[in-house]
Every structure is written in C-alpha cells, then in structure tokens.
Amino acid sequence: MDPTKELAVFLAEKNFDEIPQQVIEQSKLLIIDSLGCGLGGFTVASEEADWIIKIVKELGGNDEATVFCDGFKSSAANAALANATIAHTIDFDDTHMGSLTHLGASLVPTVFAMGERAHACGSEAAAAFILGFEAAARIGRSVMPTHYKYWHPTGTSGIFASAVAAGKILNFDAKKMELVIGHAADQTGGLRYGVDKGDFSKSLHPGFAAMKGIILALLVEKGASGPMGILEYPTGFCRAYCQDEPNFDSIVSDLGSDYLVMEDGIKAYPTILCSHSAIQAAQEIIGKENIKPADIKEIDIRQNDLAKGQGCNYSPETVLAARLSTPFCVAMAVSEGRVSLSQFTDKKLNDAKIKEIMNKIKIEGDPELNKKYPDTIAAFVEIKTKDDTLFKQSVIYPKGNPNNKMDKNEVKEKFQNLGRYSLAESKVSSLFEKLIELEKIDDVTEIIPLLIK
C-alpha cells in the first residue's frame, strides 16, 4: 500500500467540477463560519490578536495578502499566520470528529492568502479548501485516537490542510503534491499542553500550520526535493505520531466518494467540543424543570473517556482555559441560563456562583459512550436537587454535530453575531452574500475589502 502517493494523485487530479454540489455547499458554510470566528476573535481576543499582528508587521514582507480587519498587507505566509491564529483564539471554530481537528482555522486563511496572491477565482478557492480539508482529515484520523494523548491535532494535521490547499492554488501535479505532504509531515507539531492549560500556544498552532504550509508549497514550487511516501514510511509521520498501529486504510478508503468535509461540525457554543452535549443537556433540564441554581445538590456528567480527560479543568486560570473547561461551561449554563461569547471574561473566572456550581459537578467515563465516538461526543447528565429529586437528560448529537446540523440560516446568524464585533453591519451582510456564492466569484480579491474594518 502506498497511501501517500494514492492520496497525492487524488488531490492533484481532482477538479472543482467533479466535486458533488452538496460538498460545495457544506464547504461554503464552513468557510463562512471560519471567517466569522476570525472577525469575532479580532475584537473579543484583541490582546492576542495584537500580539500576532505586531509580529507580522515587524516581519514585513511582500504586499501579497491581507491581515483581516486590520488591513495590513504582508506576504501570504505572514498574513495567514496572523489570520489563522486569530481565528482560533475564541475556540468557536469547526471540528472534525474523526481527526479531532479544527481545520478551518488554518485552512481558510491559507486559501484566502494564496488566493489573493494568485488572483484565484472562487471555484479554485473552494476546491483548495475542500481538498486541503480532505487531506488533513484523512491523515489526521489515521493516527487517532492515541495521537491525542500528547498532540493537538489542529496543529499536527492543520499543516497538511494548508500545504495541500496552497499546492492546489499553485496547480501542483501528483509528484509535487506528494512532496509537499512529505515536507508538511516533517515540519508539523503542536503539543496538547496548550489545550490542557488554555494558553496562547494553542491559538498559535493553526497559525504556524498555515504559515508553514504556504512556505513549504512555495519551496516545492521552486523545485525543492524532499520526502516521498512519508505517511507509511517506518520512521514517517503515522508511526511517529500514533501510539499504536496507524490505520493506513483510512487515509485512502472511499477517496472521491466520501468527502470528510461532510463530517465537519459547526459549533453552537464558543467552548471545547466535549462540553457541548453536557451544556445542552443541562440547559434542557433547567429549562424544562425550572430548577434554580440554589436548589441544586449535585450534577453528574457521564461522557466517553476521551472527553472526560479532555475538558476536566476545575481551576481555569485564563478565559481560554474557561472555554476549555467542561465544569466551568456547564456551571455557567446552569447559573446564567446560556453560554455565549460575551459571558467569558476575566472577571467571570472568579464568579462565586459559577464556582459554587462547579464544585457540585462530577464527570465520569462511560464505556457505552465510548462506542459513540468518533461520530459524536455524547453526554448523560443527571441533576439532583436538594430534596433528592433526580432529573436526567441525554444528548447524543448536540447542535452543530453533522447528525444535528446548523442550517444555512443558523450559520448566517452566528456569522452575523461574530462579524458585528469587528465590522459594520452592512459589510457583514455583503460579505455573507459574497461568500455564499463563492464559486461564482472571478477573483477572490473582490472579497478582501469586505474583510477590512
């Protein structure tokens, strides 16, 4: 089996006209969602955005591509570094369950930076997104679930998305595509530490994935040699990044018939995905039974073992860490009746009511729910009141999961809510209308002015 070569041939030879319409429609919604996360992140996470934009401005570079909202022009690689980092700061971006990746954050900034550089048309941009996603999700799922023990797949897989997308815009043949996949495998990284601690390193993972992917594609375009067959090689990517035997078949199975972009979910909450089913279940109990926070004795949450270990931080020290804490997010939902972006503030980290509820939350693993992964991260929630009445609710597919999708109007509403943080209402509306018909655009540079304040 030569999965690297087989994948590279497919990616190089597949054209936009051969991609099913439903895949194109799904991809446009994901592109819209990712750009919305960037627009929201620019203002909501203004300190983090300022850090990365200052660095990009110091680095300078050719005026090839634009830093969204700010308007500064730099090289495609530098602009993608800033835009991808900012898109991931608020943890509201899409998630592919099988690879446990947020691919939109690295992929969309790459597509627009390289598209602006090359004056690509909308259909070329869409194809680059779809095929970059396909590469990264397939490679990413081949090393799961043990890969997640130490690594943050948004970084380790995101570089494949960027490298392949850049390669598509540069019209790579199969050999060049295999080369850029090889270089991406060699240059990847991103530890899980940032997820566990909720620090800025997590946000940088898609940023550097996007930047590196572009640089590597440009190197290959210039004729650089490099590793071939890197995925299956004995000391190559899959065996290096997997704690057991990699699933090589998952890299190439059903290529061209099953597009993994259809398995991607759009988040309904600006929180770690493993908290979503628990948040929704708790909200449904509280809403239906009209339970007051003061009446709660204990809250028991059962999840799969991966989720239990992923979001169990009971002492978040940063706003991002709070978004990544299932106990904090569920306590906020119970205490305040909702979970939205504006609620996550430094002051809220020490909110006495939220802390009181957090202390009543217990999270346990459930073998039955392990069977639901990777289709979903489900949750069983039980809330016991002080009179020992027990209320139960399960959520198998939370809102936004591919089996419980957000429709076009819901995605539009989320995009508008995020866009308003940084852009005028008129620009947000015009931007959505342009993006929803992306494949009809002659030059993606038509979109760029709408992404600047």
What are the pLDDT digits (tens) for 107-148? 999 999 999 999 999 999 999 999 999 999 999 999 999 999
Alpha-carbon span 381 to 364, nearest angstrom: 10
Residues 210, 87 share a domain = yes
Q: What is the pLDDT of residue 436?
A: 99
Q: What average pLDDT does this structure show over 360-384? A: 95
The reported pLDDT for the residue numbered 310 is 85
* Helix-helix angle 200-221:46-59, to 10 degrees: 30
Do the domain assignments include residue 340? Answer: yes
Share of the chain above pLDDT 90, in %: 98
CA 379-384-385 angle, 5° bins = 140
pLDDT at 1 over 90: no
The set of residues, in sequence order, having a beta carbon less than 8 Å from that of 220 and lying 6+ positions away, is: 167, 172, 176, 179, 180, 183, 226
Does 374 sit behind a cis peptide bond, omega within 30 degrees of 0 on the bond before it? Answer: yes
CA dist 443 → 32, 292, 308, 345 (Å): 17, 54, 46, 39
Please tell me the predicted confidence (pLDDT) of residue 267.
99
Q: Annotate 104-116 with DSSP letters as a single string.
A: HHHHHHHHHHHHH
Domain count, the chain: 2
Same domain? For 252 and 277 the reply is no
Q: Which residues sit opposite 362 in a β-bridge?
A: 300
When pLDDT is averaged across residues 60-81 and rounded to a whole number, the result is 98
**Distance between CA atoms of 381 and 362, rounded to whole angstroms?**
10
Helix, strand or coil, per DSSP, at residue 365? strand
CATH of the domain at 321: 3.30.1330.120
User: What range defines the domain where residue 37 resides?
Assistant: 3-266+406-451
284 and 213 inside one domain: no
Q: Which residues are CB-neighbours of 257 under 8 A, at least 6 positions away?
A: none
Indicate if 151 and 287 belong to the same structural domain: no
**Do 147 and 27 belong to one domain?**
yes
**Whether residues 209 and 109 fall in one domain:** yes
Establish if 145 belongs to a structural domain.
yes
251 and 353 both lie in a single domain:
no
The arithmetic mean of pLDDT across residues 222-229, rounded, is: 98
Last residue within a domain, chosen from 395, 416, 431? 395
Residue 346 burial by Cβ neighbours in a 10 Å radius (0-12, 13-18, 19+):
exposed
- Residue 134's pLDDT is what? 99
Say yes or no to pLDDT of 261 above 90: yes
Mean pLDDT of the chain: 97
In a domain, 43, yes or no: yes
- 397 secondary structure, DSSP code: S
Distance from the Cα of residue 252 to its chain's centroid? 22
Regarding whether 135 and 161 lie in a shared domain, the answer is yes
Indicate if 257 and 277 belong to the same structural domain. Answer: no
In a domain, 108, yes or no: yes
**Does 132 map to a domain?**
yes
- Is position 401 within any domain? no
Whether the pTM exceeds 0.95: the reply is yes
Residue 306: per-residue pLDDT: 86
400 within a domain of the structure (yes/no): no
Residues 360 and 410 in one domain: no
78-81: long-range pairs with CB below 8 Å, 24+: 78/211, 79/109, 79/113, 79/116, 80/106, 80/109, 80/110, 80/113, 80/114, 80/162, 80/207, 80/210, 80/211, 80/213, 80/214, 81/52, 81/55, 81/56, 81/207, 81/208, 81/210, 81/211
| Domain shared by 17 and 136, yes or no | yes
**Cα separation values, 453 from 11, 36, 291, Å:** 35, 14, 43
Task: Check whether 419 has a pLDDT greater than 80.
Answer: yes
Task: Looking at the structure, tell me whether residues 360 and 420 fall in a common domain.
Answer: no
Q: For the segment 430-442, what is each residue's pLDDT rounded down to a tens digit?
A: 999 999 999 999 9
Torsion over CA: 222, 228, 232, 233 (sign): negative
**One-letter amino acid of 158:** G
What number is the average pLDDT over the span 412-417? 98
Spatial neighbors of 87 by CB under 8 A, at least 6 apart, are 34, 35, 37, 38, 41, 93, 104, 105, 108, 109, 206
